[in-house]
Amino acid sequence: MLPAHRPEKLPSTSSPESAPLGTGEGDHGTEPEAEPIISVGWDEPEDQDRENPLNWSPVVKWTNILTISVISFLVPLVSSMLAPAVQLVMQDFETESTSFATFSVSIFVLGFACGPLLLAPLSELYGRAIVYNVTNVLFLAFTVLCAVSRNPPMLLLSRFLSGFAGVATITIGSGTIADLMPREKRGKAVSVWSVGTILGPMVGPIIGGYVTEVAGWRWMFWAVSIVIGVVTIFAFFVLSETYPAVLLERKAARLRRETGDHRYRSKLASDVSSAELFRRSIIRPTKMLICCPLVTIMCSYVAVLYGILYLLFATYSFVFKEVYGFSTFAAGLVFITGGVGTLLGLLYTGRFSDRSLKKQAAAGKPVTPEHRLPLVITLPGALAFPLGLFIYGWSVEVRAHWIVPQLGTAVTGLGSILVFIGIQTYLIDAFEEYAASVIGANAVLRGTAGALIPLCGLNLYNVLGWGWGNSLLAFVALAFAPVPWVFGVYGARIRSFKFFQLKA
């Protein structure tokens, strides 16, 4: 039975204007005529083909988006919920290692750095849904392993693997939204998906602190495992495959099976082998970090701020328990103000992110990637981050009322999100052809810094104190503050230099 659409037939070798597929020569009359390929795409008109994810019903679309949004909320929640319970874990394992105290929280983020290198190419080969479902099960299994850990190495390994598997929805969630929503309707979907990743680290310590105080730190992992299990089962039944390349390949396979004609082939099929696709996907982010100094500088800035944030996450409970006498539950509540500052920054960027670009276009002026960076400069997020560190550190040092360091964490959260979003959108606009790779490079460096920088946290404070310890971190952040301004003003000229261009 022939398909409902009219297949596009590529020219055969008998045509004097074309060459056989896979050759660069014309027809010499001695080679056998190659069979024409029947290209399989969406049925015409494409906007009415119900197999195309862009044409699915709003209910189906939003069920998929909300499901991955819930998972994207749970993953960062698990990453930070251990923070207020670290001291109890150390007592249980009979260890006084300051490295374990901070690494037990931040090693989850090291999994964030490694996961995208494998999960992103897997989603391009086998589709989104199977990657989501498999990683959800693994995320559940590794979270349960955290609950039954008997020693520090077992807990650290389980936390790393949880981050590695859990990062799937954060890595490819934006791809699912792009599959389902046309460009003019993606803003709302991306906002809903992003809120979970922002709220997760804020809510995690609150839940973790409460459950730990009531039932012990192991039940913190058991409780969240129950929730993950329910969501995993729900996701298995409702998540649909959305990746067009995989869907069209399935359609072509169905047509080959129904018609017995082996010429049907997806129009999105690639001649690149699976091994080569993996090689390119894994190597390119590293290549961009090494060969393109513009990417190196910007990603290093983000990585330093991200590492400092996780250093703060890993040490908040020590600060507010030792200095202010907070309980385990109350120590979890201190994350709220930082989360509020972050949300305010997110709302600001959501409202004003594209405004400067629209003004530029309306004035008939060319729009460049550098127009993304004034968002960071004008607030300015690059200065708010170190300012918050100064307020937080010295108010703790002089034993000011606990609300004062909390205000510092809010300012730091506000500055961090402005820098992160401003630089990320700049990198995407500046490297459109390699957008996935440049964001991958950003994620790898950021995750690595987020895992390793916190290792020095408690030792830093023990040597320098809360005031000068946080001041040192603030000075490091302040040293990077001119970077967005430099690229905002001179970025176009810098990108034109051969040395700053990607050698693909």
Q: Please state, in angstroms and rounded to a whole number, the distance separating the CA atoms of residues 318 and 303.
A: 24
Q: pLDDT above 70 covers what percent of the chain?
A: 82
Is the predicted pLDDT of residue 11 greater than 50, yes or no? no
For helices 186-215 and 217-238, give the axis angle rounded to 10 degrees: 150
Tokens of 145: 């392993």
φ, ψ for residue 265, nearest 5 deg? -150, 135
Find, among 87, 129, 369, the residue nearest to 241 by Cα: 129
Is the predicted pLDDT of residue 6 greater than 50, yes or no? no
> Residue 3's pLDDT is what?
40
Is the predicted pLDDT of residue 389 greater than 50, yes or no? yes
To which residue do tokens 């946290």 refer? 457
How would residue 80 be classed by pLDDT, with cut points 50, 70 and 90?
A: confident
> Residue 17's pLDDT is what?
35
Is the predicted pLDDT of residue 435 greater than 80, yes or no? no
User: Are 385 and 416 within 8 A, CB to CB?
Assistant: yes
Give whichever of 160-174, 360-374, 381-395 has the largest mean pLDDT.
Answer: 381-395
Query: Helices marked H in 86-185 — which ranges?
Result: 86-93, 98-126, 128-147, 152-166, 168-180
Q: How do residues 440-472 score in pLDDT, each as one tens digit?
A: 778 788 888 888 888 888 888 889 999 999 999
φ, ψ for residue 171, nearest 5 deg? -75, -45
> Residue 16's pLDDT is what?
34
> Residue 378's pLDDT is what?
57
Is the predicted pLDDT of residue 110 greater than 80, yes or no? yes
> Residue 154's pLDDT is what?
94
Give whichever of 197-206, 234-243, 359-368, 495-504 has the largest mean pLDDT.
Answer: 234-243
Tokens of 269: 């099929």
pLDDT mean across residues, the chain: 81
Q: Structure pTM?
A: 0.75
> Residue 258's pLDDT is what?
85
Beta-ladder partners of 266: 40
Is the predicted pLDDT of residue 391 greater than 50, yes or no? yes
Is the predicted pLDDT of residue 336 greater than 90, yes or no? no
Q: Which of 9-13, 50-54, 203-207, 256-260 is predicted least confidently?
A: 9-13
> Residue 8's pLDDT is what?
40
Is the predicted pLDDT of residue 408 greater than 90, yes or no? yes
> Residue 354's pLDDT is what?
58
Q: Please state, in angstroms and rounded to a whole number, the distance separating the CA atoms of residues 94 and 79.
A: 23
Per-residue CA distances from 439 to 306, 399, 433 (Å): 15, 41, 12
Measured from the Cβ of residue 225, the count of other Cβ atoms closer than 10 Å reads 22
Chain centroid offset of residue 431 CA: 17
How would residue 403 be classed by pLDDT, with cut points 50, 70 and 90?
A: very high
Averaged pLDDT for residues 478-496? 80
> Residue 213's pLDDT is what?
87
Q: Which of 33-37, 68-72, 313-317, 348-352 is predicted least confidently?
A: 33-37
Residue spans of the domains in the chain: they are: 8-48+246-266, 283-504
Q: How do residues 352-386 score in pLDDT, each as one tens digit?
A: 665 666 666 676 666 667 666 666 555 678 899 99
Query: Helices marked H in 363-456 — which ranges?
Result: 374-378, 381-397, 403-430, 435-452
Q: Please state, in angstroms and rounded to a whole number, the distance separating the CA atoms of residues 193 and 140.
A: 21
Averaged pLDDT for residues 338-358? 75
Who's near 184: CB < 8 A, 6+ residues apart? none
> Residue 448's pLDDT is what?
85
Single-letter residue type at 362: A
Diameter over CA atoms, the chain: 90
Q: Please state, in angstroms and rounded to a whole number, the distance separating the CA atoms of residues 104 and 149.
A: 12
Angle at 121 between CA 119 and CA 125, to 5 degrees: 110
Is the predicted pLDDT of residue 280 greater than 90, yes or no? no
Is the predicted pLDDT of residue 433 greater than 70, yes or no? no
Q: Please state, in angstroms and rounded to a whole number, the distance separating the CA atoms of residues 274 and 290.
A: 25
Who's near 306: CB < 8 A, 6+ residues apart? 416, 420, 446, 447, 449, 450
Q: Which of 160-164, 329-333, 411-415, 499-503 is predicted least confidently?
A: 499-503
> Residue 423's pLDDT is what?
82
Q: How do residues 206-227 score in pLDDT, each as one tens digit?
A: 888 889 888 999 999 999 999 9
How would residue 422 be classed by pLDDT, with cut points 50, 70 and 90?
A: confident
Is the predicted pLDDT of residue 183 greater than 80, yes or no? no
Single-letter residue type at 48: Q
- CATH for the stretch 283-504: 1.20.1250.20
Check residues 60 and 27 and name the one with the higher pLDDT: 60
Is the predicted pLDDT of residue 204 greater than 50, yes or no? yes
